[in-house]
Amino acid sequence: MITFNNVSKAYKGGGRPALQRINFHLPKGEMAYITGHSGAGKTTLLKLIMGIERANGGQVIFNGHDITRLSEHELPFLRRQIGMVHQHYSLLSDRSILDNVSLPLIIMGVAQSIAIREAKMALARVGLENKLNFLPRHLSGGEQQRVGIARAIVHRPDVLLADEPTGNLDDKLSFEIFRLFEEVNKTGTTVLIATHDTHIITQRPKPCLVLEEGHLK
């Protein structure tokens, strides 16, 4: 599903390269974590998969396509196969959670009635079917991140990526969020999560890629 062949990334004007000669393969339907200290290159690695940043060397293979060779106008097609969960939820504060989750589909051109049906299903998967009309600020942090996950899976992506999804949550809520990612993974979605919550993920039964100053250990 996702393969990195000798991938390196150096930012313009940056010091040492953010990533150096990274090799790994995440098969379809698998789940893995990326850990490492702040600045180790976790976010950069995810951005290369999304095509937000470009590698300087090597190949990033996604579903058989080398992303490093895609043109700008081919990238939106790639991104539709990916769902992304952020640390800060980035929900629209003046819209209901049902609107927040259905909006990505409407932007993709899906009919409103279908978008709402799919959004309700995604919100049910994260246990928020009773809060459809709530505004984000009326939910707890853990619930807001559940909305973030529902929004990321509403278009049924092949791959779910998350960048420090529990960065703002305490241990108990973080644990629940990691369990939710495992539930999503069980339905066949490939999942890759960057986190420095090592004390929690060492208790989770999934492989872990460890980055150290741009190198994979």
Q: Residues interacting with ligand ADP, by CB under 6 A? A: 11, 14, 18, 36, 38-44
Among 43, 100, 174, 195, binds Mg ion (CB under 5 A): 43
Angstrom CA distances, 185 to 31, 128, 159, 180, 191, stand at 7, 19, 9, 9, 6
CB of 210 to Mg ion, least distance (A): 14
* 3-class DSSP assignment, residue 144: helix
Q: Which is nearer to Mg ion, 60 or 97 (CB)?
A: 60
CB of 170 to ligand ADP, least distance (A): 21
- Which partner from the list Mg ion, ligand ADP, none does 36 bind, CB cut-off 5 to 8 Å by kind? ligand ADP
CB of 117 to ligand ADP, least distance (A): 36
Q: Which is nearer to ligand ADP, 80 or 215 (CB)?
A: 215
Contacts for 85 with CB less than 8 Å, ≥ 6 apart: 145, 148, 149, 152, 160, 161, 162, 163, 165
Q: Which is nearer to Mg ion, 42 or 125 (CB)?
A: 42
Separation CA 32–CA 3 (nearest Å): 13
CB of 42 to Mg ion, least distance (A): 5
Separation CA 92–CA 192 (nearest Å): 25
Contacting positions for Mg ion (CB under 5 A): 42-43
